[in-house]
Amino acid sequence: MADSSDAQSLEQAPVYQPPSRLQTGEGGVPVAHIKSLEEYWTMYEQSIRDPDTFFGKMAQDELSWSKPFNQVRYGDFKRGNVSWFLDGQINVSYNCVDRHALTNPDRVAIIWEADEPNQHTHITYGQLLEEVSRIANVLKKYGVRKGDSVAIYMPMVPEAVYSMLACARLGAVHSVVFAGFSADALRDRILDAGCKILITADQGKRGGKTIQLKKIADEALGACPSVQRVIVFQRTGDPNVPFYPPRDVWWHNETANQRPYYPPEPMDSEDPLFMLYTSGSTGKPKGVVHTTAGYLLGAHITCKYVFDLHEGDVHGCMADVGWITGHTYIVYGPLSNGATTVLFESVPTYPNASRYWEMVDKHKITQFYTAPTAIRALRRLGDDFVSSYDLSTLRVIASVGEPINPEAWNWYYTVVGRERCALVDTYWQTETGSHIISPIPGAVPTKPGSATLPFFGIDPAVLDSQTGQELQGNNVTGVLAIRSSFPSVTRTVYDSHIRYMDTYLKPYPGYYFTGDGVTRDQDGYYWIRGRVDDVINVSGHRMSTAEIESALILHPACAEAAAIGVPDDVTGQAVVCFVTLKPDITQDENTIRTAFVSTIRHHIGPFASPKRIIICGDLPKTRSGKIMRRVLRKIAGGDVTLADLDDEQALKNKLGDLSTLADSNIIGSLVKKVIAH
Ligand code: WTA
């Protein structure tokens, strides 16, 4: 959380004006949808004062309805019964596919950039309609009906997008599970959602490596009786991939036999569109549910205004469809706007650190969206990887997932954006469905490190975390909450509305609680401070300390575990685990550490691997037995030196009040362990 020295540095933060060419159209670029700060404020104030008129008009103008809604808004955060566009009927797949295919069938919908750099494919809106329809027909044939859950465990191939849109077309609720999750994690998600069908691939390709998706899926399915059918897309065609008919069917055989049209099912505005599991404060991931019309409107209008999307634009979002950023800004937002979206199968450093920029040049990308962790990693490798490429098509460059530090911001702005692009730092969450705080490219001056001002309809409040009182005015620091409902906010947690209420709406009654700390500076700009709960954000991947601890405890050698996040120069945060061993464990520490890492990879996935595992004799606890994480965080972060151990005052300054610590001798041994390790 910010202290007074931070407040001072915020006051001195440099301000960058929106690039004038976006406001004037100089050089032939499209003039921005919103061209001045005044225009932004006028629209923003209307969206807050009269959301019914503002969003009613947006929904009518921007989306295609099969039956008009007759009430814009109902319910609130107090009661947890938020709903939008009541009585309306709409199909998301129709909005993202048909309405463009019917008028512009040859417009490119997807550019698929394969793992190998010399391979890419264009898929037009006309083709997209056929492909989505074929797989929708396959799903129908295998008994998928409106309201059923379908699991999607796919690499970054167009068939992943077809599958999502096919579910939306027939009203099935998709649950995309990131292809980096382990068999156990996939199993838990399939079981929780009661999925009937799994769509997967034989293998995935990423950075030249092969991922055994089907093998992992088979392991997960051993414990998933609800899954009757597995549709397998052949990504590599490796003949050794296991295949078990009649449960398993091949994507190519099945789709070849289906008609390339499937009529979109009219869906109620509030019918669920998808669920996406995300980590919270407890070990069990939550299936965050998004509904049809509100989510689509949020995705559509943030894409249009925050990325300033115009006809003919090529939108390059580098996320994975397994996360919310991929859902909203690779699939639903760009396609609803009729843009061309880039689907990137590889990693930024394969075969070398020019991959992103080579792609921008080759595909003439106009909006480029990535995470600070990628920017930091690429910045370290030097400007030479960027400078030889033509990046002149870029107008908006964007960041998401964690706070972007000013050094990374400046590099992105100067070396990639060449000081002629708007850099938008977009703050949002799986639960909000679309951006909630972000600059608008042609309108809002930016400050490196701040997500700036709220999007339309977002009414942020800074609360005192203890009392829940609103901190009025500027220059305040507290926790970030949202005052009133907005179209794309999550409506429930799958099969667990109590958990939804407890997590988001009960902590501060009447508000949606984000879980993030925030400062509102002297200009009313928001600076996100990171999570105030037990969520760790590693390279933009969100995980909970409890999830990691629950995985560790499953290992027979582990007695107790505490996972914490520590700052990391590249990944933002990194996971450090403190573990105590059961008695009679005789293996050496290195062997045990390796075993613990593989336990975490097995139960969650490789991306959750800790940076360090520290095996210790005991954990610092309060007299009532609660682990003092704040102490562990400081020690793991290297704040405490050996010299401090003999200086009570220094120790107190660095670790805070230790009077509740049950055994004060423990600090010395932990510090020595961390330093020796
Ligand atoms: C963090 C990703 C600072 C934040 C879209 C949030 C950010 C969590 C930013 C959600 C940003 C996301 N600046 N922090 N621009 N964007 N976060 O659900 O802590 O994977 O609560 O959604 O990421 O992560 P999630």
pLDDT, one tens digit per residue, over 379-405 is 999 999 999 999 999 999 999 999 999
How far apart CA 579 and CA 520 sit, in angstroms, is 38
Atom number, ligand 1, closest to the C-alpha of residue 325: 5
CA of 371 from ligand 1 middle (Å) equals: 10
Q: Is 329 in the pocket of ligand 1 (CB under 6 A)?
A: no
Helices (H), 234-279: 251-256
2, pLDDT greater than 60? no
Pocket probe for ligand 1: among 402, 434, 547, the residue whose CB has the most ligand atoms within 8 Å is: 402
pLDDT at 675: 87
pLDDT at 8: 64
Strands 572-581 and 612-615: parallel
Q: Is 306 in the pocket of ligand 1 (CB under 6 A)?
A: no
4, pLDDT greater than 60? no
- pTM given for the model: 0.93
Q: What are the Cα distances from residue 181, in Å, to 154, 499, 541, 552, 605?
A: 11, 23, 11, 16, 4
243, pLDDT greater than 70? yes
pLDDT at 314: 98
CA of 594 from ligand 1 middle (Å) equals: 30
Helices (H), 222-318: 251-256, 292-306
Would you say the C-alpha torsion 454, 458, 464, 470 has a positive or negative sign? positive
Give all domains of the chain, ordered by start, each with its CATH number.
127-265 (3.40.50.980), 539-676 (3.30.300.30)
Percent of the chain residues past pLDDT 70, beyond the cut: 98
Q: Is 403 in the pocket of ligand 1 (CB under 6 A)?
A: yes
CA of 541 from ligand 1 middle (Å) equals: 9
Pocket probe for ligand 1: among 178, 493, 516, the residue whose CB has the most ligand atoms within 8 Å is: 516
Closest C-alpha residue for ligand 1 atom 8: 429
pLDDT at 467: 96
Closest C-alpha residue for ligand 1 atom 13: 403
Q: Is 278 in the pocket of ligand 1 (CB under 6 A)?
A: yes
Q: Is 429 in the pocket of ligand 1 (CB under 6 A)?
A: yes
Closest C-alpha residue for ligand 1 atom 14: 402
Q: Which residue has the higher pLDDT, 74 or 531?
A: 74
12, pLDDT greater than 90? no
677, pLDDT greater than 80? no
Atom number, ligand 1, closest to the C-alpha of residue 528: 3
600, pLDDT greater than 60? yes
Quote the Cα angle for 50-54-60, to 5°. 145
Atom number, ligand 1, closest to the C-alpha of residue 431: 18
Q: Is 425 in the pocket of ligand 1 (CB under 6 A)?
A: yes
Q: Is 216 in the pocket of ligand 1 (CB under 6 A)?
A: no
- Cβ of 70: how many Cβ atoms within 10 Å? 9
149, pLDDT greater than 50? yes
Torsions phi, psi for 389 (to 5 deg) = -100, 150
Contacts of 582 (CB under 8 A, 6+ apart): 556, 557, 558, 559
Task: Give the residue-averaged pLDDT of 80-84.
Answer: 98
Task: Give the residue-averaged pLDDT of 267-293.
Answer: 92
pLDDT in tens, 216-227: 999 999 999 999
Give the tokens for residue 397.
Answer: 């460059």
Atom number, ligand 1, closest to the C-alpha of residue 323: 20
> Please, what is the angle between helix 666-676 and helix 629-636, to 10°?
30
How far apart CA 333 and CA 369 sit, in angstroms, is 13
Burial classification of residue 78, based on how many CB atoms lie within 10 Å of its CB (0-12 exposed, 13-18 middle, 19 or more buried): exposed
How far apart CA 339 and CA 337 sit, in angstroms, is 6
Q: Is 428 in the pocket of ligand 1 (CB under 6 A)?
A: yes
Atom number, ligand 1, closest to the C-alpha of residue 514: 21
9 pLDDT band, cuts 50/70/90, is confident
Q: Is-contact 526 316, C-beta < 8 A?
A: no
Pocket probe for ligand 1: among 327, 404, 479, 537, the residue whose CB has the most ligand atoms within 8 Å is: 537
Q: Average per-residue pLDDT in the chain?
A: 95
Q: Which residue has the higher pLDDT, 353 or 282?
A: 353
Give the HSE-up count for residue 303: Cα atoms under 13 Å, Cβ half-sphere. Answer: 35
CA of 620 from ligand 1 middle (Å) equals: 30
pLDDT at 5: 42
Q: Is 333 in the pocket of ligand 1 (CB under 6 A)?
A: no
Atom number, ligand 1, closest to the C-alpha of residue 438: 15
How far apart CA 640 and CA 668 sit, in angstroms, is 10
Q: Is 33 in the pocket of ligand 1 (CB under 6 A)?
A: no
7 pLDDT band, cuts 50/70/90, is low
1, pLDDT greater than 50? no
Task: Give the residue-averaged pLDDT of 423-431.
Answer: 98
425 pLDDT band, cuts 50/70/90, is very high
CA nearest 514: which of 462, 475, 440? 462
CA nearest 217: which of 195, 237, 202? 202
666, pLDDT greater than 60? yes
Q: Which residue has the higher pLDDT, 11 or 89?
A: 89
180, pLDDT greater than 80? yes
Q: Is-contact 56 260, C-beta < 8 A?
A: no
Helix (H) or strand (E) holding 439: none
Task: Give the residue-averaged pLDDT of 521-531.
Answer: 95
Which residue's structure tokens are 């292809």? 179
